[in-house]
Structure 1
Amino acid sequence: MPVVVVLAAGRGTRFNADRTKLLALLRGKPVVAHAIDCARRSHLPLKIVLANDAPRTLIDAVSILVEARDIVWNANSALGVTHSIACGLAAAPDAANWIVLPGDMPNVQPDDVRAVLRALDEPDVLAARPTHAGEPGYPVGLSRRLGIDWSGSVASAGPLLLKALAHARRIADCSPGVVQDVDTVADLNGLAR
């Protein structure tokens, strides 16, 4: 079965110095809760990647939203998003495919996830990503056929992931949510309208 990997290990310092953008309220709930809800409404299991040094408030909020076994701790989140992706994938090595969904993208829809999964069903597609109005977005789908060797270090998967993403199949006409993220307070305010 495919697994959704929600990324929540970033610093988010463009939003605020407290690293709490994922807890900012949008339509009555934290931004990260929308990404988790998308995974659940897609009827797929999920893993959520948190930094080992995540703010306690974020850890507490995520712990209420998901089971402890679904939290993946990234001790090296400072190494960047590729490392967080690799940590999430390594936590579900037997997944049929992986759907990588940033936790700061509250408007992604389950139909977007399903479109990415359909693209991964094609035998020659190793990675897929949605687009809206020609702009590439998220979630990104990664195929098990990438052949990632999980016996090595998590970091060793990075170059393979980057290559796959560079050649991802683009899926046209997905929802606007695939290109709407919350990097700044202005982004949040724009989505709240």
Structure 2
Amino acid sequence: MSTALVVVVLAAGKGTRMRSSLPKVLHAVAGRPMVQHVLEAAAALEPAGSVVVIGPEGEAIAEAVRPYPVAVQREQLGTADALKAARDQALPLLGDGGDVLVLYGDGPLITPETLQRMRAARQQAPAPDFVWLGFRPPDPTGYGRMLLDEEQRLTAIVEEKDASEEERRVDLCWGGLLLGDGPALFRLLEQIDNNNAKGEYYLTSLVALAADEGLRAGVVECDAEEVRGVNSRAELAEAEAILQRRLRRRAMDAGVTLIAPETVQFCWDTELAPDVVVEPHVVFGPGVRVGVGAQILGFSHLEGALVEAGARIGPFARLRPGTRIGPEARVGNFVEIKATSLGAKAKANHLSYVGDAEVGAGANIGAGTITCNYDGVSKHRTVIGEGAFIGSNTALVAPVTIGPGAVIGAGSTLVEAVPEQALALARAPQTTKPEGATRLRERQKKQRTEE
């Protein structure tokens, strides 16, 4: 049997229950469109190619799944009709007789391990010609039932609307996935009719057609959560919760401490090294990597950031894309950092904004410091040298360079470079008027009386 494999992802559904202008399969789970989760799971099988079936207005999906090719299902006539739309692109990839794996773009919870088990079942001897994925939900209402004979061979899959009372009592349900001999699959698709309650061309009709030709059908079972489709906002939230539990468990199994796991929100690509500690209510957006032994304190939000070993972030800190926090550096409460490199052991502990900047090792950013990086048209960079000390409530008007070891007095607004080891002050002279407060209050009182 050929080992060639082609994946077909059905993603043409309109998703009207989502009540959204965004195509259903592009709604994100753990920061990533659902269809991309499905394609990644399938990629673990190293297929010869993958094809995504979209509707006639699926340009946004086609763009999102690039470079995977797409096939267009012109009308919504059922799952078998959708699979037929991929025929012309799938068959050339199959060679002399490979397999086709059918997945659904709104099923982001399927795992590579389950797909591998389907593949293994297809390759065992005697090899079934088709492998169908089944599951046993607590309540099978609404699902197609998988009917087995005395030898536990699949004889039919009956949609609930077409099932008898006895068939509805069966708890083994079809999970929507199918792996089988590609040429046989596409040949049998041509024989499927729409003589059913919904007037659609069901992929499940293949079971009986294959049996009529003496082809074998096998069943692999998986956990019910893996085949949960998403058809509404509520189901999207349920899928998010399931995937978040998986990501949290994966992090803890890898040596990460989550103080309150249920409060931490991960992205699909979050990378945390061993001995990282994450406090409650932390959100990881896309593109975050955290090094060994770093601490992420409560209520912090990180996106597109690298945090190196031993650094401490938060609480209530925000790291935006392009941020790199060096080893043992400190970013404290209500500090926002964007497109900035903070050197080893540098500190920005309180109430500051540092954007488009390079901060040297050991530098100290005082409370209330702002890098004024945007002039309304362009962004400009600030460079702060190693060991520099920036006093509280300082405004650094970029582009500007602060030399290594320089000290900036609190309350300064700097528009010019400061040399290495220099002291810079930029304050208006203080004026103090003896008894001035008394005279001011008297004038104010008199004014109120006259009014």
TM range (shorter): 0.7 to 0.9
Equivalent residue for 2:28? 25
Equivalent residue for 2:218? 169
Fraction of identical pairs, as percent: 23
Task: Tell me how far apart the structure 2 counterparts of residues 90 and 165 of structure 1 sit (CA, whole Å).
Answer: 23
Q: What's the TM-score once normalised by structure 2's chain length?
A: 0.37
Secondary structure of residue in 2 paired with 1:42: coil
More helix by share: 1
Distance verdict in 2 for CA 1:147–1:20, change over 3 Å: closer
Secondary structure of residue in 1 paired with 2:116: helix
Bigger mean CA deviation after superposition, 96-105 or 141-150: 141-150
Equivalent residue for 1:146? 184
Note if 1:182 corresponds to 2:184.
Answer: no
Which among 105, 108, 116 is matched to residue 106 of structure 1? 108
- The alpha-carbon deviation at position 142 of structure 1 amounts to 2.3
User: Residue 113 of structure 1 aligns to which amino acid in structure 2?
Assistant: L
Bigger mean CA deviation after superposition, 177-186 or 120-129: 120-129
- The alpha-carbon deviation at position 149 of structure 1 amounts to 4.0
Which among 65, 83, 86 is matched to residue 85 of structure 1? 83
Which among 89, 114, 117 is matched to residue 119 of structure 2? 117
Which blocks of at least 5 consecutive residues in structure 2 are unaligned? 137-171, 194-201, 212-216, 242-451
Bigger mean CA deviation after superposition, 139-148 or 3-12: 139-148
**Highest RCO, 1 vs 2 (Cα 8 Å, sep ≥ 6):** 1
Equivalent residue for 1:15? 18
Which blocks of at least 5 consecutive residues in structure 1 are unaligned? none
Instruction: String of CA shifts for 1:63-82, please: whole Å, max 9, x gaps.
Output: 3xx34xx22222x2322221
Equivalent residue for 1:73? 72
User: Residue 190 of structure 1 aligns to which amino acid in structure 2?
Assistant: E
What's the Cα RMSD here? 2.6
Equivalent residue for 1:35? 38
Distance verdict in 2 for CA 1:103–1:165, change over 3 Å: farther
Bigger mean CA deviation after superposition, 119-128 or 17-26: 119-128
More strand by share: 2
Residues 135 and 179, structure 1, Cα contact 8 Å, conserved in 2: no
Q: What's the TM-score once normalised by structure 1's chain length?
A: 0.80
Residues 53 and 70, structure 2, Cα contact 8 Å, conserved in 1: yes
Instruction: String of CA shifts for 1:114-157, please: whole Å, max 9, x gaps.
Output: 2222232355623212223343213211223626449xxxx725
Distance verdict in 2 for CA 1:142–1:112, change over 3 Å: same
Residues 4 and 47, structure 1, Cα contact 8 Å, conserved in 2: yes
Secondary structure of residue in 2 paired with 1:78: coil
- The alpha-carbon deviation at position 161 of structure 1 amounts to 5.0
- The alpha-carbon deviation at position 36 of structure 1 amounts to 1.1
Greater Rg by CA: 2
